[in-house]
Amino acid sequence: MRARRVLAAILLLTIFGLLVDWPREMDIHFHLGRTAVHWHLQKPKLAFSLAGWHFSLPEKLPKGLDLAGGVHLVFQAEMDKIPEHDRTAAWQALEDNIHQRVDAFGLGEVAIRRVREGNNYRLTVDIPGDINPQQAVALIGKTAQLNFRLVAPTATVAAKKQQILFLKTGLTGAYLKRAQVDFNHQTGKPYVGLVFNTAGAKKFATITKKHVGQRLAVFLDKRLLMAPEIKEPILNGQAMVSGNFQLKEVKEMVSQLNAGALPVPLKLIAQQRVSPTLGKESVRQAFRAGIAGVTIEGLFMVLIYGWLGFLALLGLMVYGILSFMLYKILPVTLTMPGIAGFLLSLGMAVDANILIFERMKEELRSGKPWRLAMELGFGRAWDSIRDANACTLITSFVLFNPFDWHFLNTAGMVRGFALTLGLGILLELFTSVIVVRAIMRVLYHWRTK
């Protein structure tokens, strides 16, 4: 009974995966005798709400620069006027600010990476798709501007509504020495700490003395970051922005403020337009190689293991469906190395089944009944499966380098390979050990009835 429930849950998950993987629109043409039949299928948008949060799954799998084409830009961060101890923070803030810009502009799946070579601080920006390079350079290359404005609500008589005006104060990021994450010693909650230089402290003191009770809005470029209320005059040049913030929110605000407090000019040093023609041909060849590999694997498994090999193929189908479902949900930007990682993990997905089936054959040869041999086969093969896949997962972790350690790889293409390979290994364990086992248990119950 438990095996049936597990199999039913797997079936529902697979159906959901098919809905996610299915293209948004599809045209089907065929002839039935002399009659031409044309079907236009359109998938409904997958969106739902949970506890006030709204989720919608992407309809398309984002493609990387090598598959979709686009623009590759390399910028040099001019750190000459930034103190040595502030350069790493300014570099990080610069990357975060560029992310905010490209997200607001709607440039799609943009890959931004920091590359340091000695005293050279560089940012590489890969923008897939058909985009004007000059427009991208103008958007990304401008220096971040931070300014503080008073929020002044004014009543409109005709509309009887409140309009909000943001009045310039003359206080800009040039007067902000730094922003930092601090913690309230009584409550332990994080808050944003602002430290102004000498001239900034005087300006900030004048503003806060005159406008207690009003809100002071903070803008980065033209984007409103926050608008805290001035509760009392602040005369020492050190302010705190508190609220019901999570630590992640405070860190993000600090990074955005530092992008304007430590403005770093960018200099374009390399620009390359990448054509998608090579990407289309590479995808076509990779697809052919994948079909050939899966066909050979399938024939091998069926010829050697019979109906057990056919069950392994069913698990392989579930593996493929769930893989592309994860790629869309996360989402994973698909690149050519990413496809290579998927194909490699596809081949490795069969290895676990071979270990299990060989252990089953050994138990059957020793005279054990089929049900016991099946359970022992899965149980005793698990140690080998776990150890082999743990080594591959460690390799994927090192190649992906999630903590951006500078002594490890930071190339996006290699990370794409590591991500699809790592996800493939986790799904392989699920399909080989859980999916195939549930199918075999249910089939055994049906045979013995």
User: 276 or 112, which is more confident?
Assistant: 112
Residue 423 binned pLDDT confidence (cut-offs 50, 70, 90): very high
**pLDDT at residue 106 above 60?**
no
Q: How far apart are the first and last CA of the chain?
A: 13
Residue 269 binned pLDDT confidence (cut-offs 50, 70, 90): very high
User: What secondary structure does DSSP assign to 251-320, as a single string?
Assistant: HHHHHHHHHHHS---EEEEEEEEE-SHHHHHHHHHHHHHHHHHHHHHHHHHHHHHTHHHHHHHHHHHHHH
Residue 159 binned pLDDT confidence (cut-offs 50, 70, 90): very low
Q: Which helix (H) or strand (E) holds 138?
A: helix 133-141
User: 441 or 28, which is more confident?
Assistant: 441
pLDDT of 121-156, one tens digit each? Answer: 898 888 887 777 777 777 777 767 888 999 876 644
Q: What is the pLDDT of residue 50?
A: 62
Residue 448 binned pLDDT confidence (cut-offs 50, 70, 90): low
Least confident range from 5-9, 158-162, 195-199, 433-437: namely 158-162
Least confident range from 52-56, 109-113, 420-424: namely 52-56
Q: What is the mean pLDDT of the chain?
A: 82
Q: What is the pLDDT of residue 279?
A: 61
What's the CATH number for 2-20+276-448?
1.20.1640.10
pLDDT of 237-259, one tens digit each? Answer: 999 998 888 888 888 888 788 77
Least confident range from 335-339, 419-423, 425-429: namely 335-339
Q: What is the pLDDT of residue 105?
A: 58
Q: Which residues contact 39 (CB under 8 A, 6 or more apart)?
A: 27, 28
Which range has highest mean pLDDT (13-22, 92-101, 262-271)?
Answer: 13-22
**pLDDT at residue 46 above 70?**
no
Tokens representing 51?
């506890």
Write the burial class of residue 449 (CB in 10 Å: 0-12 exposed, 13-18 middle, 19+ buried): exposed
Write the burial class of residue 334 (CB in 10 Å: 0-12 exposed, 13-18 middle, 19+ buried): buried
CA–CA dist 367, 191 (Å, integer): 69
What is the pLDDT averaged over residues 393-406? 87
Give the CA-trace dihedral at 411, 413, 418, 423, to 10 degrees.
130
Residue 335 binned pLDDT confidence (cut-offs 50, 70, 90): confident
**pLDDT at residue 87 above 70?**
yes
Q: What is the pLDDT of residue 156?
A: 47
Residue 52 binned pLDDT confidence (cut-offs 50, 70, 90): low
Residue 157 binned pLDDT confidence (cut-offs 50, 70, 90): very low
**pLDDT at residue 285 above 90?**
no
CA–CA dist 220, 207 (Å, integer): 19
Tokens representing 163?
């309009």
**Phi, psi for residue 430 in degrees, rounded to 5:** -65, -50
Contact 99, 112 (CB under 8 A): yes
User: 45 or 176, which is more confident?
Assistant: 176
Positive/negative CA dihedral, 83, 248, 138, 145:
negative
Q: What is the pLDDT of residue 179?
A: 87
Architecture label for domain 70-274: 2-Layer Sandwich (3.30)
Residue 277 binned pLDDT confidence (cut-offs 50, 70, 90): low
Q: What is the pLDDT of residue 196?
A: 92
What is the pLDDT averaged over residues 327-337? 83
What is the pLDDT averaged over residues 400-411? 78
User: 274 or 46, which is more confident?
Assistant: 274
Q: What is the pLDDT of residue 286?
A: 77
% of the chain residues with pLDDT over 90: 25
Q: What is the pLDDT of residue 407?
A: 77
What is the pLDDT averaged over residues 58-68? 75
CA–CA dist 173, 195 (Å, integer): 11
Please report, for the chain, the start and end positions of each structural domain, with discontinuous segments joined by +. 2-20+276-448, 70-274
